[in-house]
Amino acid sequence: MATPQAPAPSDESSQSTLSDEELVTAAPEVLATSLREYLHAWAQKIRNGESGALPVIVGLILIIIFFRIERRVFLSDTNIVNILTGSTIYVMLGAAEIFILLLSEIDLSIGFGAGVGGLVIAELIASPVNLPWWLGIIGGMAVMAVFGALQGSLVSRLNLPSFVVTLGGQLALQGLLLVIANLDPTAVGGVIQIDPGSPIYKLVNGTMSPGLSWAMVIAAVALFGIASLVKNRARTARGLTAPPLGVTLISIAIAAIGGILLVVTANANTPSGIPWVFPFVVLVLVFYTWLLGRTRIGRYIYAVGANPEAARRAGINVRWIVTFAFIMSSVTACLAGVVYESNQGSMSIDINGGQLVLFAVATAVIGGTSLFGGRGRMFNALLGGIVISVVVNGLAVMGVGAAAQDIATAVVLLAAVTLDSLVRRRAAAH
């Protein structure tokens, strides 16, 4: 899986100096003018080893079929919603990790970063501080931004290995978690409840009405469709390559079918409707995709990750880019903390930050982010998070113990990386 992702190619870069012959090998779909040609070109890409997210999707389907055969309840409405809800914490932490993996670095602190961010928020919105929920979230994000800036500065200015810096960060955050919990005498042994009336509690526990669920999905699919069509038209008008109309329509149809299935499932569940956390996570991923793909600082992250020396020579402030990525990672971990505490209805010092960060790396890697920097897409965290959640949930539904769960998750992760490596080797051989 790793999706073949050029380092944030600008539109201008599409006007390459490659010959048609070279293009057919490198990106055959670029020359496709019809749906048939496009599909043919796509098949050729897969044969060449550029399989994108396809192996992960195929693998995911096979895993789902396996669990469905083992346990009928696995694909019940409730369990599907549970799997998707359970994936949100992995997706958020995976997104946090992607900022760092794109730089060919790693952040081991984000699991407990979610803990500290979540606990700061929980304390700020509870008695005696009683801040409004949104101010509490800003407070938690500010604390984690400072922490991220500190880690980023140590990595970028002192050239310390991120592995060591963030390992220290993980330990420091674990300690900070206890310090904050001990400050609050009303937290029972380091556990503080999230007020069930708070929007933070309702993020995961609350659902939209069935009607609103339909309206939101219809609006989202319509927006996606219009944006795709307008973008393609604009590219065609400017003489740039664009996928044939049929391809765009198929992708819109797939999105529509997915949306319909989601709403039907969520509305059949109790409580009915889509949990608020779904659009929340999607909006965060949309924003991050825009940030990485459409802003200068985002493209610089890809550039620095692909080749830091080249980026430096091109005049990019590499130190700032690295620091910025660590700030984004820590702030996103804080948002993951919001999802976590909403899911639990509480925040406690027992958050399993050590395991969560490993699942975050797995989410990013299964989603196609390269561990060697410069390649990866935010939206694929969704795929990676769902794979992790399916494996964890499916094995639990089968009644398998934690030890076997951990081993199975490791096998899925290794299978993903191995497959990725194999298809890439094949691609290199061509």
Partner 1 sequence: MTDIDRLAREDDAEHHHEADAQRAPMLERVTRRAVLGGAGAGLSAALLAACGSSGAAHTVTETIAGSPAPTLFDNHRTLRFTVVSHATRSPVFTPTHYGVADACRLVGASYQWVGSQNGNIDELLHALNFAVGARVDGIATTLTDPGAFTAPLSAARDAGIPVIAYESDAPDSGRLAYIGSDPHASGLQMGTRIATLLPGGGNIAVFISAPGDTNLRARLQGLRQGLAGSGVHADVVATGEGAGAQQATINGYLPRHLDRHGFFALDGSSTSALANTIAGIGRAHVLAGGYDLTPETQQQLAAGALQFAIDEQPYLQGFLAILQLYLYRVSGGLTGPANVDTGARFVDRHGVAAYVRSQSRFEGTGSSPGLQPA
Is residue 344 within the footprint of partner 1 (CB under 8 A)?
yes
Least distance (Å) between residue 345 CB and partner 1: 6
Rounded (10°) CA dihedral 324, 325, 326, 331 = 90
Q: Is 352 among the residues that bind partner 1 (CB under 8 A)?
A: yes
Total residue length of the chain: 430
Angle between helices 77-101 and 353-366 (to 10 degrees): 80
Q: Which residues contact 303 (CB under 8 A, 6 or more apart)?
A: 7, 8, 310, 311, 314, 316, 374
Calpha distance 218→259 (Å, rounded): 8
Residue 16 sits in the site that holds partner 1 (CB under 8 A): no
- Closer of 152 and 394 to partner 1 (Cβ): 394
CB of 192 to partner 1, least distance (A): 7
H-assigned helices in 102-208: 110-125, 133-157, 162-183, 199-205
- Provide CB contacts within 8 A for 219, sequence distance 6+: none
**277/301 with CB nearer partner 1:** 277
Instruction: Determine the Cα–Cα distance for residues 283 and 335; give it in Å rounded to an integer.
Output: 12
Is 78 a binding residue for partner 1 by CB under 8 A? The answer is yes
Residues in Cβ contact with 216 at an 8 Å cutoff, skipping those fewer than 6 apart: 208, 274, 279
Shortest Å, Cβ 398 to partner 1: 10
CB 367 within 8 A of CB 380: yes
- If one asks whether residue 205 binds partner 1 (CB under 8 A), the answer comes out as yes
Which one among 350, 411, 418, 421 touches partner 1, defined by CB under 8 A?
350
The smaller minimum CB distance to partner 1, of residues 175 and 196, is found at 196
Looking at beta carbons only, is 129 or 226 nearer to partner 1? 129
Q: Which of residues 84-103 bind partner 1 (CB under 8 A)?
A: 85-86
Q: Which is nearer to partner 1, 196 or 246 (CB)?
A: 196
Q: 197 vs 239, which CB is nearer to partner 1?
A: 197
Whichever of 62 and 73 has its CB closer to partner 1, that residue is: 73
**121 near partner 1 (CB under 8 A):** no
Q: CB 403 → partner 1: shortest distance, Å? A: 4
**Stretch in the footprint of partner 1 (CB under 8 A) among 20-28, 101-109, 341-349, 375-383:** 341-349
Q: Where are the beta strands (DSSP E) in 284-411?
A: 346-348
Q: Give, as ranges, the residues between 219 and 278 that touch partner 1 (CB under 8 A).
A: 270
Give me the residues paired with residue 125 across strands.
none
Residues 174-203 that bind partner 1 (CB under 8 A): 185-193, 196
Least distance (Å) between residue 393 CB and partner 1: 5
Min CB(358)–partner 1 separation in Å: 13
Please count the residues of this chain forming the interface with partner 1, following the rule CB under 8 A.
36
Q: How far is the CB of 401 from partner 1 (least distance, A)?
A: 3
d(CA 345, CA 384): 25
Q: Which is nearer to partner 1, 10 or 78 (CB)?
A: 78
* DSSP secondary structure letters along 50-97: --TTHHHHHHHHHHHHHHHHH-GGGGSHHHHHHHHHHHHHHHHHHHHH
Closer by beta carbon to partner 1, 71 or else 319? 71
DSSP output for 244-257: -HHHHHHHHHHHHH
Question: Which residues, 386 to 405, sit near partner 1 by CB under 8 A?
Answer: 392-393, 396-397, 399, 401-404
Phi, psi of 127 (to 5 degrees): -65, 140
Cα–Cα distance measured from residue 399 to residue 70, given in angstroms and rounded to the nearest whole number: 11
Sign of the Cα pseudo-torsion (74, 78, 337, 220, in order): positive
- Residues at the contact surface with partner 1, assessed by CB under 8 A: 78-79, 82, 85-86, 185-193, 196, 204-205, 270, 343-346, 348, 350-352, 355, 392-393, 396-397, 399, 401-404
